[in-house]
């Protein structure tokens, strides 16, 4: 039933109505009891009636689309990279208007730029395809434009990381434009996605990794969606994400030299999106033998997930790279062998994936 409601687009509205009916049932029982009328009847009746009114308002304004036309959001060209990263929030309710032709073309240019072979970490090609269709996507509502991330059918972990890294750079560009976005993994209707790709998908060669909803943010959203947003706006502490050893046991002193020059990058990565807000990426800093200079940062996946963990790690890579560029710290991504890392007896998890190597001394 949950899956059916999800794919028919009713799951975002039903919980409010169910809770409202439950409170009204409690008030009916309180009326039968006949005593303590304020706590047993009027209080649950008031809550139930209010929630029922909210459910009706959500159905009319969001599900049926009977609401006033909302203004276009402004661009955010005045924000620096870190403020832009922190300003970005997953959007789960979109306006009915389409992207303007100018915004769509600017996004297409960003997609072409960030998926160029020389911009990838791996060697396998990836694609970000634009789809304009009202695909079913949980829990977003009103969305009718998407970017579909496609990797080769034969599993290539670096290609999955490149999907996360490239698509998140497009997401940050969209944020600067004032275009809202929402990463969607298991909540997307894969069959509908493939159908609307209309010849741009070969089931023998391609695999849909995830999608990203696009559009202009709406202030009208179901109460259930508001609750989901509030619950997911939480992050692990820095001590659970950044470490000073390859075993990920010693928390990194992020505010002490020689690690402190990257302090804003740590915080930016901490707030990066991940599937179900699971935060599966970890990072270990590596210094020279004297411990005075940072030489690289190694990025790990904390779970065995074959797709969502490497996508999340790729999102971290994009955030880290954007932050380092803003700080004027140059570096590059490279996959190092166990010999290069000195990690011959490393455990299976957390799994090492890629390193950011400083191109110059960072002390």
pLDDT value at residue 188: 81
pLDDT tens track for 293-349: 999 999 999 999 999 999 999 999 999 999 999 999 999 999 999 999 988 788 889
Contacts of 142 (CB under 8 A, 6+ apart): 62, 65, 93, 94, 95, 96, 215, 218
d(CA 136, CA 1): 16
pLDDT computed for residue 230 by the predictor: 87
For position 9, what pLDDT does the model report? Answer: 84
Q: In 3D, which of 261, 358, 309, 321 has the Cα closest to residue 119? A: 321
Token code pair at residue 210: 């995830």
Least Cα distance to 114 among 169, 156, 151, 175 occurs for 169
Tens of pLDDT, residue by residue over 228-276, are 888 887 899 999 999 999 999 999 999 999 999 999 999 999 999 998 8
pLDDT for res 363: 64
Residue 163: its pLDDT value, please? 98
* pLDDT of 362 strictly over 80: no
Using N-to-C axis directions, what is the helix angle for 223-232 and 14-33, rounded to 10°?
Answer: 110
Cα(149)–Cα(194) distance, integer angstroms:
11
DSSP-derived pairing of the beta strands 242-243 and 281-287:
parallel
The average pLDDT across 205-210 equals 95
Q: For residue range 125-149, list pLDDT tens digits in order.
A: 999 999 999 888 888 999 999 999 9
Tell me the pLDDT tens digit for each residue of 48-92: 999 999 999 999 999 999 999 999 999 999 999 999 999 999 999
pLDDT recorded at residue 17: 96
pLDDT band, residue 186 (cuts 50/70/90): confident
CA angle 197, 202, 208 (to 5 degrees): 65
The pLDDT mean for the chain works out to 94
């Amino acid at each position: 039933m949950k899956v059916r409601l999800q794919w028919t687009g009713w799951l975002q509205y039903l919980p409010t109505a169910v809770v409202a009916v439950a409170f009204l049932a409690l008030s009916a029982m309180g009326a039968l009891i006949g005593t303590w009328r304020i706590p047993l009847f009027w209080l649950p009746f008031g809550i139930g009636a209010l929630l029922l009114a909210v459910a009706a308002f959500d159905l009319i304004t969001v599900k049926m689309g009977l609401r006033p036309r909302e203004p276009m959001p402004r661009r955010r060209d005045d924000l620096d990279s870190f403020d832009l990263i922190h300003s970005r929030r997953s959007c789960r309710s979109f306006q009915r208007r389409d992207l303007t032709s100018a915004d769509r073309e600017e996004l297409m240019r960003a997609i072409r730029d960030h998926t160029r072979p020389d911009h990838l970490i791996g060697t396998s090609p990836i694609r970000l395809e634009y789809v304009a269709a009202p695909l079913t996507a949980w829990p977003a509502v009103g969305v009718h434009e998407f970017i579909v991330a496609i990797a080769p059918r034969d599993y290539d972990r670096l290609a999955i990381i490149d999907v996360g890294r490239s698509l998140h750079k497009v997401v940050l560009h969209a944020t600067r434009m004032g275009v809202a976005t929402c990463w969607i993994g298991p909540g997307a209707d894969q069959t509908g996605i493939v159908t609307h790709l209309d010849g741009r998908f070969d089931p023998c060669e391609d695999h849909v990794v995830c999608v990203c909803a696009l559009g202009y943010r709406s202030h009208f959203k179901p109460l259930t969606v508001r609750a989901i947003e509030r619950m997911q706006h939480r992050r692990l502490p820095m001590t659970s994400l950044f470490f000073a050893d390859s075993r990920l046991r010693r928390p990194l002193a992020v505010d002490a030299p020689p690690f402190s020059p990257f302090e804003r990058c740590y915080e930016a990565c901490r707030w990066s999106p991940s599937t179900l807000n699971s935060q599966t990426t970890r990072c270990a800093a590596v210094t020279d033998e004297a411990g005075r200079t940072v030489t690289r940062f190694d990025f790990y996946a904390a779970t065995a997930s074959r797709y969502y963990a490497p996508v999340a790690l790729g999102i971290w890579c994009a955030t880290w790279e954007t932050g380092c560029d803003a700080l004027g710290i140059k570096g590059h991504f490279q996959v190092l062998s166990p010999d290069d890392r000195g990690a011959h007896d490393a455990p299976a998890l957390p799994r090492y994936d890629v390193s950011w190597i400083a191109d110059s001394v960072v002390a």
